[in-house]
């Protein structure tokens, strides 16, 4: 009898501890909302980093009801585009290493979560995105698991998020991050988050220390040099970007080729075959959309490293100028942005090719990054 009472007491004690731990984990995860699937204020976790931006941004589409009129699509180069510069109803669906092969799935995700398509789409196309594989060499479409996730029962999905001990650790880390934010500062690709958070745009702070910036630039340059050497053009590129202009979508599409620092553009001229790939990308983009704003050529912005964190990611001012050029507002640099159509594409390609080839024998501010 005594043994039975002892066993019962132990069981109740275990259940109480289990319930208390589970309740604590769920409370922390609900309060912080690390995966962005609720809709309440989180003043103790206003600044945060991405855990899995494909899942997190899909959760915003799934669980927030704000009307979305304009959708921004592209790689990490568009992730810091400020939706406030576009107006109400804009959503930034930029994703790190996003490839055009993901566009058909992303449009399916948008329609499945919202029940409609956006009226306008701003798509940032980068030369790297015309590659047949991701940077790690894989070909599996990274948007597919996100689409499959949408089939999960909403209640069960929320319970899994709330009861995750791993996410509770992340939630606590985010609280600590915000407590020390004044001391530690905003970090690369941090996101400002609140209950009406629909922009989901990242922040790319400049690198103030020149030695550190040189290290980052040189590392990225070496990566691009290796990637461009084994670059294989995606034969489905034209088909993939055509997903944005399907009759069922009926959106006004504003495409642009993302700017890139001249340091890595030199590699396109130096590596056999890459100039031909660059030309093919521009021509196929014009064929699909009828025209495209091209910012990836030698100009006052791409030649000046002070506008860039490193050659692949610009500071916020550059993206503001991109939007101003596309919408015909503001006062972007006069030589920044050319609208390419079938009427001027031959002349434009000829001029840009000559510029890129000349880079091999010219110096601009980027050369400082490669000097000892």
Task: Reply yes or no on whether the pLDDT at 309 is more than 70.
Answer: yes
pLDDT bucket at 184, cuts 50 / 70 / 90: low
pTM reported for the whole predicted model? 0.92
Mean pLDDT of 76-105: 92
pLDDT tier at 144 (50, 70, 90 boundaries)? Answer: very high
Please report the pLDDT score of residue 192 as a whole number: 87
Interhelix angle 53-63/103-114, nearest 10 degrees: 30
- Residue 106 in tokens: 């992303």
Q: What are the start-end ranges of the H helices in the chain?
A: 2-32, 53-63, 103-114, 144-149, 154-162, 165-179, 181-184, 210-229, 237-241, 262-270, 274-289, 316-327, 345-358
What is the SS3 assignment for 137? Answer: coil
Burial of 268 (0-12, 13-18, 19+ CB in 10 A): buried
| Per-residue pLDDT tens digits for 60-69 | 999 998 899 9
Q: Is the confidence at residue 164, as pLDDT, over 90? A: yes
Q: How far is CA 308 from CA 85, 129, 187, 260, 262, in A?
A: 20, 20, 16, 9, 11
Say if residue 137's pLDDT is above 80. Answer: yes
pLDDT above 60: residue 345: yes
DSSP structure class, residue 37 = -
pLDDT, residue 2, reads 47
Tell me which residue of 260, 249, 236 sits closest to 116, measured CA to CA. 249
Give CA–CA dist 256/25, Å, rounded.
44
Q: Would you give the DSSP letter of residue 278?
A: H
């Amino acid at each position: 009898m005594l043994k039975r009472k002892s066993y019962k007491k132990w069981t109740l004690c275990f259940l109480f501890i289990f319930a208390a731990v589970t309740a604590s984990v769920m409370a922390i995860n609900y309060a912080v909302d690390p995966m962005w699937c609720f809709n309440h204020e989180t003043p103790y976790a206003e600044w945060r980093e991405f855990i899995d931006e494909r899942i997190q941004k899909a959760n915003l589409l799934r669980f927030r009801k704000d009307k979305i009129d304009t959708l921004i699509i592209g790689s990490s180069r568009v992730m810091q585009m400020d939706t406030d510069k576009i107006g109400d109803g804009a959503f930034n669906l930029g994703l790190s290493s996003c490839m055009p092969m993901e566009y058909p799935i992303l449009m399916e995700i948008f329609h499945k979560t919202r029940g409609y398509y956006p009226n306008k789409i701003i798509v940032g196309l980068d030369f790297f995105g015309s590659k047949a594989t991701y940077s790690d060499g894989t070909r599996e479409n990274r948007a597919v698991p996100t689409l499959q996730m949408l089939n999960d029962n909403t209640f069960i999905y929320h319970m899994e998020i709330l009861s995750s001990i791993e996410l509770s650790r992340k939630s606590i880390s985010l609280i600590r991050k915000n407590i020390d934010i004044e001391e530690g500062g905003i970090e690369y690709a941090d996101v400002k988050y609140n209950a009406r958070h629909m922009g989901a745009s990242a922040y790319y702070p400049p690198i103030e220390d020149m030695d550190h910036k040189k290290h980052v630039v040189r590392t990225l340059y070496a990566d691009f040099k290796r990637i461009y050497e084994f670059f294989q053009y995606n034969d489905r590129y034209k088909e993939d970007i055509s997903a944005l202009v399907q009759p069922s979508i009926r959106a006004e599409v504003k495409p642009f080729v993302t700017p890139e620092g001249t340091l890595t553009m030199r590699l396109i001229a130096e590596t056999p075959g890459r100039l031909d790939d660059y030309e093919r990308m521009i021509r196929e983009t014009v064929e699909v959309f009828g025209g495209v704003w091209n910012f990836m050529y030698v100009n006052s912005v791409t030649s000046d490293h002070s506008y860039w964190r490193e050659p692949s990611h610009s500071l916020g001012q550059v993206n503001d100028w991109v939007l101003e050029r596309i919408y015909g507002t503001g006062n972007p640099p006069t030589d920044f942005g050319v609208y390419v159509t079938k009427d001027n594409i031959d002349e434009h390609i000829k001029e840009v090719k000559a510029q890129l080839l000349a880079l091999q024998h010219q110096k601009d501010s980027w050369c400082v990054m490669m000097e000892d």
